[in-house]
């Protein structure tokens, strides 16, 4: 799915990109990066299409996703340490 098609699906779902990113706990910066690439990953495309379809059917996808209690992934590894340097 192209980034433009992705954005159309978000419009159909009546959700903005910032709200979408907060709902699925993915950085908005990461989602914006797909604009340069031209395409969005399959998983993100499926989520957007499902949200649009659920919205058209009158289902509250926001409530359903909130119940999943998703957590944002944190970066781990070299260069991402939060330890204070002496």
Complete DSSP assignment for 13-46: TT--HHHHHHHHT--HHHHHHHHHHSB--HHHHH
Q: How far apart are CA 6 and CA 80, in angstroms?
A: 31
Work out how many domains the chain is built from and give that number: 1
Cβ(20)–Cβ(10) under 8 Å?
yes
* CA distance between the termini of the chain: 48
In a domain, 7, yes or no: yes
CA angle, residues 40, 23, 66, in degrees to nearest 5 = 135
**30 lies in some domain:** yes
Is residue 74 one of the residues assigned to a domain?
no
Q: Which helix (H) or strand (E) element contains residue 78?
A: none
Structure tokens of 26? Answer: 């993915």
pLDDT mean across residues, the chain: 91
Is the pLDDT at 79 greater than 70? The verdict is no
Asked whether the predicted pLDDT for residue 50 surpasses 60, the reply is: yes
pLDDT of residue 5: 97
pLDDT at 73 over 90: no
Q: Is residue 25 part of a domain?
A: yes
Confidence of residue 77 (pLDDT cuts 50, 70, 90): low
Q: Which domain holds residue 34?
A: 3-67
Is 20 contained in some domain?
yes
Residue 72 lies in a domain: no
Average pLDDT rounded to a whole number, residues 46-59: 97
pLDDT at residue 61 is higher than 80: yes
């Amino acid at each position: 799915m192209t980034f433009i098609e992705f954005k159309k699906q978000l419009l159909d779902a009546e959700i903005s990109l910032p709200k979408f990113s907060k709902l699925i706990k993915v950085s908005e910066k990461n989602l914006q990066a797909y604009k340069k690439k031209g395409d969005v990953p399959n998983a993100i495309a499926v989520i957007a299409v499902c949200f649009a379809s659920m919205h058209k059917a009158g289902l509250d996808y926001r409530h359903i996703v909130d119940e999943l209690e998703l957590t944002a992934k944190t970066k781990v590894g070299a260069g991402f340490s939060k330890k204070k340097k002496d």
